[in-house]
């Protein structure tokens, strides 16, 4: 590939190419007026079954499985490939125009929550579940939750983008981000060698945040042949943990919500029976 000489000032005059290029733009805010639908349940989720979307639906299904009926939710589909995230109603819930976004309508004044980590923490605190209250255990859980928020962009936006989505295969970025993806897997593997779950003996929102990304990666669900390319069989503790979480009924339910490709599609979820 020819070397690129950046101009003095970058301008947005061409599409960069590659998957998702058509929805990328250098400005924020709404592109069109569109109200969001509101269903009958206390929680209204606007999302899609990507790894970031699955975190929230898995937690909601786990809360419902524990008997927290206040966690009943409507899950509306946001088709990011069609630009639904740039509708005015969605931007009012998430000014960053990315799924997942949540409105809690259970109180007198609706509360908006965006960023999947913030949504997990909000729901865990609201229902007193999947986030330990003892200070050391809570600090460990939140440390790993925020580890995921900082790390996954290198896996998805870095490795996944250049390995699977960029318009051509470029050695430099693929090398750089494969190295980082493997380093992150090794961080998890070393942790899971001494701990059943990410934050300790208990399954928490740290597992729920990390599993759709790194569990999905070692299970071969992300980015084509990336599991073989990254030799994921080396991370046997991550594989053990990924299988254990995979087997949870609430995880199997949550993974399906807002899914619009592959098997078991469920574009919207408005009742528990939609998943039965």
Comparison of 210 and 242: residue with beta carbon closer to ligand GSH: 210
Instruction: Output the smallest distance, CB 135 to ligand GSH, in A.
Output: 25
Q: Say if residues 250 and 64 touch (Cβ distance below 8 Å).
A: yes
Comparison of 94 and 232: residue with beta carbon closer to ligand GSH: 94
Comparison of 166 and 244: residue with beta carbon closer to ligand GSH: 166
Instruction: Output the smallest distance, CB 108 to ligand GSH, in A.
Output: 27
Q: How many CB atoms lie within 10 A of CB 267?
A: 15
Look at the block and give the residue holding tokens 């960023």.
115
Comparison of 2 and 27: residue with beta carbon closer to ligand GSH: 27
Supply the DSSP string of 159-219, one letter for each residue: IIIIIIISSS--HHHHHHHHHHHHHHHHHHHHHHHH-SBTTBSS--HHHHHHIIIIIHHHT
Q: Which two tokens stand for residue 197?
A: 């779950």
What are φ and ψ of residue 77, in 5° steps?
-85, 130
Q: Which residues contact 39 (CB under 8 A, 6 or more apart)?
A: 74, 76, 270
Instruction: Output the smallest distance, CB 194 to ligand GSH, in A.
Output: 27
Instruction: Output the smallest distance, CB 268 to ligand GSH, in A.
Output: 17
Comparison of 221 and 240: residue with beta carbon closer to ligand GSH: 221
Comparison of 57 and 116: residue with beta carbon closer to ligand GSH: 116
Q: CA angle 226-232-236, nearest 5°?
A: 160
Instruction: Output the smallest distance, CB 31 to ligand GSH, in A.
Output: 11
Can you give the binding site for ligand GSH, defined by CB under 6 A?
Answer: 23, 50, 52, 80, 85, 97-100, 115-117
Sign for the pseudo-dihedral over CA of 258, 256, 93, 20: negative
Instruction: Output the smallest distance, CB 216 to ligand GSH, in A.
Output: 12
Alpha-carbon span 247 to 208, nearest angstrom: 13
Q: How many CB atoms lie within 10 A of CB 239?
A: 17
């Amino acid at each position: 590939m020819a070397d690129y000489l950046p101009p003095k000032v970058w301008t947005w005059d061409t599409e960069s190419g590659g998957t998702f290029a058509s929805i990328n733009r250098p400005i924020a805010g709404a592109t069109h007026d569109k109200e969001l639908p509101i269903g009958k349940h206390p929680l209204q989720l606007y999302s899609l079954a990507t790894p970031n979307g699955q975190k929230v639906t898995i937690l909601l299904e786990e809360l419902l499985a524990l008997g927290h009926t206040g966690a009943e939710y409507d899950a509306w589909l946001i088709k990011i490939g069609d630009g639904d995230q740039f509708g005015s109603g969605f931007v009012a819930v998430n000014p960053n125009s990315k799924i997942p976004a949540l409105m809690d309508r259970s109180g007198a004044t609706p509360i908006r929550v965006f960023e999947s980590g913030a949504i997990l923490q909000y729901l865990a605190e609201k229902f007193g579940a999947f986030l330990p209250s003892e200070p050391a255990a809570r600090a460990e859980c939140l440390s790993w939750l925020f580890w995921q928020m900082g790390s996954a962009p290198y896996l998805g936006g870095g490795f996944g983008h250049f390995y699977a989505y960029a318009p051509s295969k470029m050695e430099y970025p693929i090398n750089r981000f494969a190295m980082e993806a493997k380093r992150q897997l090794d961080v998890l593997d070393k942790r899971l060698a001494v701990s059943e779950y990410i934050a300790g003996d208990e399954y928490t929102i740290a597992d729920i945040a990390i599993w759709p990304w790194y569990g999905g990666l070692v299970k071969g669900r992300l980015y084509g042949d990336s599991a073989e390319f990254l030799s994921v069989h080396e991370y046997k503790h991550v594989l053990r943990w990924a299988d254990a979480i995979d087997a949870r009924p609430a995880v199997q339910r949550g993974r399906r919500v807002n899914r619009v490709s592959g098997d078991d599609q469920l574009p919207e979820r408005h009742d528990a029976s939609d998943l039965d």
